[in-house]
Structure 1
């Protein structure tokens, strides 16, 4: 990997090489090839529903649903929505839409009527496949409120009727449809959670997500012997790309422990299904490690897994590697618009590399770190905006060319909005979001650095640091802290005493807010924008 710049200087640019070429096929073709190689191996286990499929059975079930969609006159390029928690039908819909060239629109299970209405209209849905309800969400009532009639409810007569209608479609019609597909066709729309305004629909192709899932699987060494436990939501790239496509492109088994994240159900599924890999965002691993019965579960079959979605605390990563037997656990970094993974730690990386960085650029991709104002590539160690280029960059935002042009430049570099550094060996460290950077009295402060330090406090279970308005300095730091069980709540004074002499004075949080948890997205990302709004009242009350 050559990261040398001109004139003898060394710049933060890296290109990923590899001996394995990109896959030049559609998702449907790739699944068929896997099923031909490993027909008797298990492809999918829905633990909560007590159902399982071999690859031969799964491939046939995908065909059955694909023919049902053809019976509903779903054309190539039509948008088909999926609104449901994790279940086997979600996975079948993912592969069946790909097999006929329909564009799967992933709908966040936490959406309410207003958000659903936006997605239905903006994407131009032809059909919605939905759960009837999940937790406190009455999907049926919300869909009825919108008056969207082209809906099939999973597990009900409509779903059975969809499959039955497929029996009347000649298999030759499905093969004819497949023959019209190209791997650069759009196949998936995922709505990114915008902090302002409406979300944007990142549009991804077969080539984007099949290859990204495949190379993530290569990175953790998947073979047909692996069993991948997925407690992360399928509607996000973490679940459907890194999880499902990472598994099926290698003949591994997908294990769904529960409809939604449940630490006990996850631990139980790993034990019962003898999983070799486990995915999660940091808060999920924290919940699993903190489960009262954690020590009772046999997790000895685990060897690898992926932690991603938000910055991974070093101490948690070490416990996952040691106490959960995941010695080969990987850190992945990316975003929906890049399918999602751009950098990843490798199995032979040292523990320090796998706890202190997000790894190196993936095969067949490029990354660089630039000055966000000038676009100039920075030297090693200098923080700037991370950009990605290659097969993984999305086709664009659905029907929003202006917003696409803001995100992807003329040379096809995707600007991530993340602040990062790169060292001389190409390892990337995420410093924070450009929007999260705190400027206190002219000093640039990166919350991630302070969070990592505060995790070393013996009474701190979890922590997030944000900037809040201040008349004198422009911004001040506030630490939201979740305490360990039975620990005495920290005060600002006690926290300052812990930090003094170990952190620069301007990096010590002025405010401490003790909480039970943080506002989170469904995918486990902390909503710092919401935290800042909620913190205004706290700051005002402390100022009085």
Structure 2
């Protein structure tokens, strides 16, 4: 059943107190798995490819718990409770097994992107202080084992273990003493996530058991996910969208998590049909690819209940297309890694306008406010400012970076998200851009997302991002970087006229660049600093026209 936001008197300012009518569950990640193994031992819990073989594993809850306790035993022999244990692997079935095993062993799992270069991997290992690195041998065409060998040659104190070496990390039997000593404190750290790095070096975000379990619980309840649902997860496991919502979400439901190792739209659609999936997790790039292939296919579309995700602006046209194609409620989630990762969600029973044009209402048990980025004052209803949140799900700290932690969490305990947005009198949120991406042209503040939305529906544009560029006269000017569906003849005049019908003249781009593709993070966020670098180094073609 859908958990609708609690009805409340209209807000008089952009401050929404926490809804405390829904209780938190004080259980650890490992404790929740043990609970489900007792309640539904024979239900299929996890489907995915085994590392190195590509063979499909289908594990019941009893089998998954057994493998997790074996993994906990192996990890406990490699590291002490409280230490950091890193995992560097693609979406193989061993990933969630180790996630649960690490939680049961009382270590903090360091989730690493399998495309990291040697320098990036070295940074993460050295910064986290990980004592153990569990790694896949390959990810697609990338030889992870060779990179790890280079790393190990210069890091004598680091224990490296291939997932192929199951005797070391997945012994034949679980040690009862390790299982008995599994953590029970839901407030203890369980995971270290590195931010996706849209603005330079990533920061290490330390998260609690309580945060992960309850974000999964409250998100699934808010969107009306059915108990026992089969859930397809094509998102990268090193990110919280996948290892929290895509993994612990199905666990909360007592459902089945179907883990996709390598995303390709046609095979994923077939898996959805074959497994009778009811929930799909997405980012816009994934959902767009699935919709395009399904539209060209003679096979019937999978029938889904819920399509849930976010991580980037989700066009209204994509939401409507997914509803029509899959017969599902399309849920827009909003948050960030520091919030483990969900702050708000649209609901199936929301109005059409809310579903298409907002990021929904905050989940239960979290305070939310919109503040002036300079003064910190709470903004009036409907006035834009920085979105801030305070609650059970917020991160413990940025590892080894108290200054950054203090700069992000204010004196009242609110996490400042760096996202700009508005709150209406009901508490619904709309995102207008990123604080660091705000363009200031001649003293006028311009949110790039407003310009992007004005251009995104033009038929000659496949993708667009907007950035500010230095200008002697204006300080900054608006620049649009576009991926085209055809040629660029007459484009500047056409797009300028299109934009002027939708936004104020000072927001209309004065510089236009064409790209073959936009640089994005693995979760679909456009790397705007990389876009600026491409412009600065003349990697993009600038187009001009008579109308500027």
TM-score (normalizing by structure 1): 0.92
2:512, 2:294 → 1: CA distance? 28
Write out per-residue CA displacement over residues 345-365 of structure 1, whole angstroms, 9 at most, x where no aligned residue: 112112221110000111001
Structure 1 456/375 Cα, relative in aligned 2: closer, same or farther at 3 Å?
same
Write out per-residue CA displacement over residues 237-284 of structure 1, whole angstroms, 9 at most, x where no aligned residue: 100111101110110110112x23322232222122111111111122
Q: Name 2:520's counterpart in structure 1.
A: 520
Q: Name 1:163's counterpart in structure 2.
A: 170
How far did residue 503 of structure 1 move?
2.6
2:64, 2:532 → 1: CA distance? 46
How far did residue 502 of structure 1 move?
3.3
How far did residue 136 of structure 1 move?
3.9
Q: Which deviates more from structure 2 when the two are superposed, residues 388-397 or residues 12-21? A: 12-21
Write out per-residue CA displacement over residues 21-41 of structure 1, whole angstroms, 9 at most, x where no aligned residue: 100111111111112111121
How far did residue 138 of structure 1 move?
2.0
Structure 1 505/126 Cα, relative in aligned 2: closer, same or farther at 3 Å?
same
Write out per-residue CA displacement over residues 506-539 of structure 1, whole angstroms, 9 at most, x where no aligned residue: 2222233233321011121110111012123278
Q: Name 1:176's counterpart in structure 2.
A: 180
Q: Name 1:52's counterpart in structure 2.
A: 58
Structure 1 174/294 Cα, relative in aligned 2: closer, same or farther at 3 Å?
farther
How far did residue 19 of structure 1 move?
3.9
- Give the RMSD, CA atoms, in angstroms: 2.2
Q: Name 1:483's counterpart in structure 2.
A: 484
Contact 2:515 2:540 in 1 (8 A): no
Q: Name 1:83's counterpart in structure 2.
A: 88
Structure 1 176/32 Cα, relative in aligned 2: closer, same or farther at 3 Å?
closer
Structure 1 437/466 Cα, relative in aligned 2: closer, same or farther at 3 Å?
same
Q: Name 1:304's counterpart in structure 2.
A: 306
Write out per-residue CA displacement over residues 16-70 of structure 1, whole angstroms, 9 at most, x where no aligned residue: 4254310011111111111211112111111663211111111111112112222
The answer to whether structure 1 residue 65 and structure 2 residue 71 are counterparts is: yes
1:453, 1:195 → 2: CA distance? 23
How far did residue 2 of structure 1 move?
4.8
Q: Which deviates more from structure 2 when the two are superposed, residues 39-48 or residues 355-364? A: 39-48
Q: Name 1:495's counterpart in structure 2.
A: 495
The answer to whether structure 1 residue 17 and structure 2 residue 19 are counterparts is: yes
Structure 1 503/535 Cα, relative in aligned 2: closer, same or farther at 3 Å?
same
How far did residue 197 of structure 1 move?
5.1
Write out per-residue CA displacement over residues 468-506 of structure 1, whole angstroms, 9 at most, x where no aligned residue: 22222222222222233x576662122113233333222
The answer to whether structure 1 residue 96 and structure 2 residue 93 are counterparts is: no
Residue segments in structure 1 that go unaligned for 5+ positions in a row = none
Contact 2:442 2:475 in 1 (8 A): yes
1:489, 1:138 → 2: CA distance? 43
Contact 2:456 2:463 in 1 (8 A): yes
How far did residue 313 of structure 1 move?
1.3
- The counterpart of 1:124, out of the listed 126, 129, 143, is 129
Contact 1:483 1:489 in 2 (8 A): no
Count of aligned residue pairs for this structure pair: 530
2:470, 2:296 → 1: CA distance? 41
How far did residue 4 of structure 1 move?
6.2
How far did residue 91 of structure 1 move?
0.6
Residue segments in structure 2 that go unaligned for 5+ positions in a row = 1-6
1:304, 1:520 → 2: CA distance? 25
Contact 1:369 1:384 in 2 (8 A): yes
Q: Name 1:225's counterpart in structure 2.
A: 228
Match runs of 1:105-124 below 5 Å: 105-124=110-129
The answer to whether structure 1 residue 435 and structure 2 residue 436 are counterparts is: yes
